[in-house]
A and B are shown apart, each in its own frame.
Chain A
Amino acid sequence: MAAVQGGLVDAVEEKDIKSEPSNDGCGNSNANDGRPPSTSPGSSASAGSNTSAAGPPEDQQTLLAVLQFLKKNKLTESVDILRREAGLPDDQSGGDSGAGSGAAAGDGNTEGGDVSSLLSRVTTASSAVAPVAPAPTKVVAEDQPDVNVVLSAYSQQGDPKLYPVYYSGLKRFIESVLDCHRAELSQVFYPLFVHMYLELVYNNHESEAKAFFDKFSGDQECYYEDDLRVLSSLSKREHMRGNETLLDFRTSKFVLRISRDSYQLLKRHLQERQNNQIWNIIQEHLYIDIFDGMPRSKSQIDAMSGSLAGEGKREANKAKVYYGLLKEPEIELPLDDEDEEAENEEGKPKKKKPKKDNMGSKSKKQDPNAPSQTRIPLPELKDSDKLDKIMYMKEATKRIRLGPDNLPSICFYSFLNAYQGLTAVDFTDDSSLIAGGYADSTVRVWSVTPKKLRRVKSAADLNLIDKESDDVLERIMDEKTSSESKILYGHGGPVYGISFSPDRNYLLSSSEDGTVRLWSLQTFTCLVGYKGHNYPVWDTHFSPHGYYFVSGGHDRVARLWATDHYQPLRIFSGHLADVTCTRFHPNSNYLATGSSDRTIRLWDVLNGNCVRIFTGHKGPIHALAFSPNGKFLASGATDSRVLLWDIGHGLMIGELKGHTDSIYSLRFSRDGEILASGSMDNTVRLWNATKAFDDLETDDFTAATGHVHLQDNSQELLLGTYLSKSTPVIHLHFTRRNLLLAAGAYNP
């Protein structure tokens, strides 16, 4: 039956994915993903390369803790792998773990409630992957030592009275250095402030911590305001245990990029003053990415900072990304159709079109940046897919060429009487269907064309029809069920993400109830519920080639799924906070995730590695869009800015300011000339993407150092601002002919 897809991919290919040897041991579908986020590819890799003295022991401690955890859950194979990879001696870990498990057995029950949800997350993650693990629900009995490891670094005791002295001493020093160094060194303030405050709180110096906070919180950059608010609410050691944000802050190193000269200056100062307190914090909790050359300016620093864990390391963005597009499959155009359509002399259209296609595919073959066609096993095209491709090409020939002088028309799809609360919208690629996800857990699908939605007949009725007839596809449909819209019931919480499959046979929805559901648009029933996140799933997105999809949620990981597997194929962990939006690269080999830790990460589907970390947003990211040529990424966040990124170089290349509220939707026009952004401020704005990308001169120096020079040219790039009638724009879509569709719920 049409409802089950899966069979297209060979089982062999499938195995390929699953047993792909992981480079890092993390983020893959085998049990290694059981590590806490602190060992995410980015941080662990760099932690290894870090020369600072404090790195290895702490790492080892963490590793041991993980090991212990794995042992406790009887994941012996994983233990072996981890031990082998980390190069831990057997005897040491054996002794350690024995003690650890003893302690766990003793303390587990009494203190189980205090255990951070960090580990519970890990447990759920691993349990979803490895069926051996206990229950997929929150496991309370976790090993106590690990949490202590996490928090232990704060146990060093300094004189609480001296903290403000230390801090203001450093402040004075930084204010007195040369201007060119000051901006760079000022970056130290925020992480230092947070860690000093947490140390005070951890050591139960409540009043000192409060005084410290009041004295210095005003000095911090305004974009840290949200974090400071969380911080200020925390005044007890007990509170720290359950606070995930702070655990993240602790377990990950705050990354700063500082020029060698500035760093030397700071180091010398601290050593002269014997300021061990601060020096220790810098050693243990900060990662200072030192580069040679000119110090960066304040604006350069501001453009890149703002995330929960500082900037991305340069190394993190060095991996090669095959951002090119895959070669389009060659499709023999059914000439008969063409003739009917074109109604021209018979010869001409026949010849022209195949030629064009050949040209196109040839040029794509030569794209050096494209991944190999088989890098990721993709489903074979079905006949219906081929027909759709043909339709697409036909439509593409009628596409309007957009530009600054030729702006798209905008059609607004208003959801009226959406009392239930519209939370997500998606259009099919051919713009024939529109679906809305609601806060009342329903999903509604509308037909935008006059063609009504029909169900397939029941099995009994299907037996009766003549399967040999030409119009069998028409006959299987039940005319009685024909209607303009259908409602899909099944979720147990608000539907936050929704995505059509490219072939229009399926619909994905992700919900607060922790599941992703796959619905058939033939029968309008739920086919699969993908369980694994166990926490609200904020977003889901189908791969442009179908079959795969990605989901991301409150558990801070993104998962790659295939429609015919009820378990995820990959788990992408590394974000320090919720994964708020997910999107596939046009070539399906990569996917981007935006998070409320204010970073964007690009992941390699093949091996689960994080290949890019983009920092610069000052608020949770809620919209992502790849340019059609795959080279660029646009992101929108609650800071009401759109940022543009060069994927190949791993650089920020543009900042589009103009919106006055959170941006919830972004879309490039079909040719990539125009970027449309929709926001809570009830506007759609069009930006000149061509200009933004063409003006770019990426010299080798910028590429090497990662220093961005952003011009403030938002106003030149803004082509138009279009108001809706009190309707927040929560989805945008360009039809194949470049008509812009916008959607939102009317809020009278």
Chain B
Amino acid sequence: MADREERRFAEVSRDSVKLMAESAGVELGDDVAALLAEDVCYRLREATQSSSQFMRHAKRRKLTVEDFNRALRWSNVEAVCGFGAQDALPFRPSKEGELFFIEDRDINLVELALATNIPKGCAETLVRVNVSYLDGKGNLEPQGTVPTAVQSLSDDLLKYYQQITRAILGEDPHLMKVALLDLQSNSKIAALLPYFVYVISGVKSVSHDLEQLNRLLHMVKSLVQNPYLYLGSYVRSLVSSVMYCILEPLAASINPLNDHWTLRDYAALLLSHIFWTHGDLVSGLYHQILLSLQKVLSDPVRPLCTHYGAVVGLHALGWKAVERVLFPHLPAYWANLQAVLDDYSVSNAQVKADGHKVYGAILVAVERLLKMKALSLAQPSEGGSGGQPGSAVGAVGYRVSSPGLSPPPEPLSEAALGIASHLQAGGAGCPWEEWTPVPLPAMYCELYSFFGDSLAVRFSTGPGFGSYPPCPPSQLADARKEPCGPASNPDTARKMPQLTANLNISPRQDGSPRTDPPPPSLAATGSGRSLARSSSSSSSSVQRSKSSLSRPGQRIAGPSRDVFPKARFTSPQTGLPVFTFLIGGRQMGRRCQGRRPFQTTFAPTPPIPAVPPRAYAHKLPVIGRVGKPVRRWACSHYSLHLPL
């Protein structure tokens, strides 16, 4: 046979012909088989050639099996049966060699017959006319604002659409609930999707009405959760509506009494949900979202509420997004926020309150960033391998600086890490423009320079990250405590003892009884709520342990624990609860213009179990409206108690 290079056409080999002959019970000689093979090839080519004209006359580009069969029929050859499907038949390669075949799955007829989702019949063929070009000019009416559905609506659908929109946007909350539920599970509303999307895109016109905005967001949620809907390119439109709620300085937020914060939180969760479930429908969606969030963050002119939205949005998109966008921006952003927070004038009170919100949001975001990053580092190292390639930089960098489990003294560690991170940062001059992953310790250090121990204290020190279920509150009460000396704080030297002396009782298990916060998901609303309760109650109560700084050298847990050298507890103790009071202060740092809170911890040698935890509740400065009933969709760990 001819060499492969010389082949111009697909060929049927001699062996195939022989094989087919054998299966028909005929023995063929080699020369006969060869001749037959050649002839078969020629006839196939001829048939293909003549089938192409059937394609041309059907004004198609794709040659179908039907075309080929017609060509066969006209040359008095039996047609090939069984491949009449109009859809493309994908060829699959077999593992051994160059054999391709059409996948022919068995169809379970029983299942098909008993299936509950009856396939929709194809719609009636019809002709629609539109004026495409008027006087040779393009249609001036902007196309795409109202997506045109291919199917025209039947009366039933139209009625359904009207009822649903009326119920959702109407006054009756019960009706709304029913409508939303139906929207979530109805399998026949595909044709209405463009209309709903259009309704939702009306968020821009009701930005004064929080209630309506909420309802529209609920509508988004229902649509997104409907398993029968293929959102397709409408995802883009939905995302832009949700982003509007997250980022825009809504008219409703002019009035400080309006709780637009929860709206933004909810929208952010929704965004992440859309992204996680439907992000694959639109290419580059993730990147676009990140870009627009980043744009908002880097624009100091925008009001704080939009910054808050950007931060919660990033947080909702996951710690990687935070690491990518928020973290590199933080130094630049901090100055602005600091200025706001340091302005004590009365006129600034409202803005300052907003600033605290942003501060809290950032804190939560970076906390999760650190935790998740540590977790991602911990897991590969536990696996015994050299770490995942993606996160290897940070992990290796860290391990180099702290070989084994014996931790070096804190300043040393910091210095070493500083060098390491510097080296690793390499040529990336601007970390937030050309992003390179910052190793975890360096990240922590940097963050610590902003947040101080209000960051540190947020880390739970349960035995082993994420590997243990959260401790029940009762256990928390008598959890292991450990006094800790102020000397362990490396920043102490630079700290001025000028205390603003807000007595601060930092929650030890503050707000995050879960050691591994799951990615925000709406599906988890129920458990999220309970978590929110527990966290809010624990944060508003004083039934919390005081965190302290761990002493170097007392770390014993897995390597991941080394990552948080400043928020360190010793091994679990089950003795008497030892409370450590922590007094935090802050001053303007000279070095990085950051907010540099410092804390003094003192541990009363006699334990004060007598002090009822609640006694301290009123003393805690509370920012945010915890007094208001928390909405059920709000993820409460955003509403924070900020140490001042």
| In contact, A411 and B58 (Cβ under 8 angstroms) | no
| In contact, A722 and B132 (Cβ under 8 angstroms) | yes
Give the CA-CA distance A485 to B53 in the complex, in Å.
Answer: 30
| In contact, B59 and A448 (Cβ under 8 angstroms) | no
- Measured CB to CB, the closest approach of chain A to B129, in angstroms, equals 5
A311-352: contact bitstring with B at CB < 8 Å (1 yes, 0 no)? 000000000000000000000000000000000000000000
Residue of B nearest to A739 (CB): B131
CB of A439 within 8 A of chain B?
yes
| In contact, B125 and A408 (Cβ under 8 angstroms) | no
Contact of B49 among A230, A412, A535 (CB under 8 A): A230
CB of A606 within 8 A of chain B?
no
Contact of A580 among B57, B125, B135 (CB under 8 A): B57
Give the CA-CA distance A664 to B55 in the complex, in Å.
Answer: 13
Point out the residues of chain A lying under 8 angstroms from B9, CB to CB.
Answer: 233
Give the CA-CA distance A238 to B41 in the complex, in Å.
Answer: 13
- Chain-B contact segment, one of A78-86, A175-183, A297-305, A415-423: A415-423
A536-577: contact bitstring with B at CB < 8 Å (1 yes, 0 no)? 101000000000000000100000000000000000000000
| In contact, A446 and B127 (Cβ under 8 angstroms) | yes
| In contact, B136 and A409 (Cβ under 8 angstroms) | yes
Give the CA-CA distance A743 to B70 in the complex, in Å.
Answer: 26
- Measured CB to CB, the closest approach of chain B to A680, in angstroms, equals 7
CB of B45 within 8 A of chain A?
yes
| In contact, B125 and A412 (Cβ under 8 angstroms) | no
Contact of A417 among B53, B122, B135 (CB under 8 A): B122
| In contact, B127 and A728 (Cβ under 8 angstroms) | no
CB of B166 within 8 A of chain A?
no
Supposing A230-B49, A235-B42, A408-B136 touch, asked if A413 and B128 sit within 8 A by C-beta, the answer is: yes
B272-307: contact bitstring with A at CB < 8 Å (1 yes, 0 no)? 000000000000000000000000000000000000
CB of B468 within 8 A of chain A?
no
Contact of A236 among B8, B42, B60, B134 (CB under 8 A): B42
Point out the residues of chain A lying under 8 angstroms from B54, CB to CB.
Answer: 494, 512, 536
Supposing A419-B122, A538-B57, A638-B56 touch, asked if A448 and B129 sit within 8 A by C-beta, the answer is: yes
CB of B61 within 8 A of chain A?
yes
| In contact, A416 and B125 (Cβ under 8 angstroms) | yes
Contact of B133 among A410, A422, A423 (CB under 8 A): A410
CB of A615 within 8 A of chain B?
no
CB of B160 within 8 A of chain A?
no
| In contact, B130 and A416 (Cβ under 8 angstroms) | no
| In contact, A409 and B42 (Cβ under 8 angstroms) | no
- Measured CB to CB, the closest approach of chain A to B34, in angstroms, equals 12
Q: Which residues 70-90 of B have a CB within 8 angstroms of A?
A: 70, 74, 86
CB of A118 within 8 A of chain B?
no
Point out the residues of chain B lying under 8 angstroms from A233, CB to CB.
Answer: 8-9, 42, 45-46, 49
Point out the residues of chain B lying under 8 angstroms from A420, CB to CB.
Answer: 125
Give the CA-CA distance A214 to B176 in the complex, in Å.
Answer: 75
Point out the residues of chain B lying under 8 angstroms from A428, CB to CB.
Answer: none
Supposing A243-B46, A512-B70, A596-B53 touch, asked if A232 and B8 sit within 8 A by C-beta, the answer is: yes
In the complex, which range does the number of interface residues on chain A fall in? 35 or more
Give the CA-CA distance A719 to B133 in the complex, in Å.
Answer: 13
| In contact, B129 and A413 (Cβ under 8 angstroms) | yes
Point out the residues of chain B lying under 8 angstroms from A596, CB to CB.
Answer: 53
Contact of B74 among A229, A243, A415, A535 (CB under 8 A): A535
Residue of A nearest to B130 (CB): A412
CB of B346 within 8 A of chain A?
no
Q: Which residues 112-161 of B have a CB within 8 angstroms of A?
A: 122-137, 150-151
Point out the residues of chain A lying under 8 angstroms from B129, CB to CB.
Answer: 411-414, 448
Give the CA-CA distance A56 to B124 in the complex, in Å.
Answer: 62
Supposing A410-B132, A494-B58, A662-B56 touch, asked if A746 and B150 sit within 8 A by C-beta, the answer is: yes
CB of B39 within 8 A of chain A?
yes
Point out the residues of chain B lying under 8 angstroms from A232, CB to CB.
Answer: 8
Give the CA-CA distance A436 to B129 in the complex, in Å.
Answer: 14
| In contact, A234 and B133 (Cβ under 8 angstroms) | no
| In contact, B39 and A724 (Cβ under 8 angstroms) | no
CB of A407 within 8 A of chain B?
yes
| In contact, A680 and B125 (Cβ under 8 angstroms) | no
Supposing A236-B42, A720-B136 touch, asked if A417 and B123 sit within 8 A by C-beta, the answer is: yes
CB of A644 within 8 A of chain B?
no
| In contact, A536 and B74 (Cβ under 8 angstroms) | yes
CB of A730 within 8 A of chain B?
yes
| In contact, A414 and B130 (Cβ under 8 angstroms) | yes
| In contact, B86 and A409 (Cβ under 8 angstroms) | no
Point out the residues of chain B lying under 8 angstroms from A273, CB to CB.
Answer: none
CB of B478 within 8 A of chain A?
no
Supposing A413-B129, A720-B136 touch, asked if A496 and B57 sit within 8 A by C-beta, the answer is: yes
Point out the residues of chain B lying under 8 angstroms from A494, CB to CB.
Answer: 54, 57-58
Give the CA-CA distance A413 to B136 in the complex, in Å.
Answer: 16
CB of A597 within 8 A of chain B?
no
CB of A18 within 8 A of chain B?
no
Give the CA-CA distance A214 to B6 in the complex, in Å.
Answer: 9
Contact of B42 among A234, A680, A746 (CB under 8 A): A234
Point out the residues of chain A lying under 8 angstroms from B491, CB to CB.
Answer: none
CB of A434 within 8 A of chain B?
yes
Supposing A233-B42, A233-B46, A409-B135 touch, asked if A415 and B125 sit within 8 A by C-beta, the answer is: yes
Supposing A243-B46, A596-B53 touch, asked if A410 and B60 sit within 8 A by C-beta, the answer is: no
Residue of A nearest to B60 (CB): A421
Residue of B nearest to A740 (CB): B133
CB of B38 within 8 A of chain A?
yes
Give the CA-CA distance A235 to B6 in the complex, in Å.
Answer: 14
Point out the residues of chain A lying under 8 angstroms from B74, CB to CB.
Answer: 535-536, 554
- Measured CB to CB, the closest approach of chain A to B11, in angstroms, equals 11
| In contact, B131 and A409 (Cβ under 8 angstroms) | yes
Q: Which residues 715-740 of A have a CB within 8 angstroms of B?
A: 719-720, 722, 724, 728, 730
Give the CA-CA distance A387 to B58 in the complex, in Å.
Answer: 37
Give the CA-CA distance A435 to B246 in the complex, in Å.
Answer: 52
A566-604: contact bitstring with B at CB < 8 Å (1 yes, 0 no)? 000000000000101000000000000000100000000
| In contact, B86 and A417 (Cβ under 8 angstroms) | no
Residue among A410, A638, A662 with max Cβ neighbours from chain B (10 Å): A410
| In contact, B128 and A406 (Cβ under 8 angstroms) | no
| In contact, B59 and A423 (Cβ under 8 angstroms) | yes
Residue of A nearest to B48 (CB): A233
- Measured CB to CB, the closest approach of chain B to A593, in angstroms, equals 15
Give the CA-CA distance A538 to B126 in the complex, in Å.
Answer: 24
Residue of B nearest to A742 (CB): B132
Give the CA-CA distance A419 to B74 in the complex, in Å.
Answer: 25
Contact of A410 among B58, B128, B131 (CB under 8 A): B131
Residue among B74, B132, B151 with max Cβ neighbours from chain A (10 Å): B132
Point out the residues of chain B lying under 8 angstroms from A285, CB to CB.
Answer: none
| In contact, B135 and A664 (Cβ under 8 angstroms) | no
Residue of A nearest to B126 (CB): A416
- Measured CB to CB, the closest approach of chain B to A45, in angstroms, equals 30
Contact of A620 among B8, B42, B56, B132 (CB under 8 A): B56
| In contact, B133 and A664 (Cβ under 8 angstroms) | no
A675-695: contact bitstring with B at CB < 8 Å (1 yes, 0 no)? 000001000001000000000
- Measured CB to CB, the closest approach of chain A to B515, in angstroms, equals 49
CB of A517 within 8 A of chain B?
no
- Pairs A–B under 8 Å by Cβ, sample size 16: A230-B49, A232-B8, A239-B42, A410-B132, A411-B130, A412-B129, A414-B129, A417-B122, A485-B127, A494-B58, A512-B70, A536-B70, A536-B74, A554-B74, A580-B57, A722-B136
Q: Other than the known A233-B9, A720-B136, what 16 A-B pairs have Cβ atoms closer than 8 Å?
A: A233-B42, A235-B38, A239-B46, A410-B132, A416-B128, A416-B150, A417-B125, A423-B57, A448-B127, A536-B70, A578-B53, A722-B133, A722-B136, A728-B59, A742-B132, A748-B150
The 5 closest A-B pairs by CB, nearest first: A407-B136, A410-B133, A233-B45, A412-B132, A417-B123
Binding site for B on A (CB under 8 A): 214, 229-230, 232-236, 238-239, 242-243, 406-423, 434, 436, 439, 444, 446, 448, 485, 493-494, 496, 512, 535-536, 538, 554, 578, 580, 596, 620, 622, 638, 662, 664, 680, 686, 719-720, 722, 724, 728, 730, 742-743, 746, 748
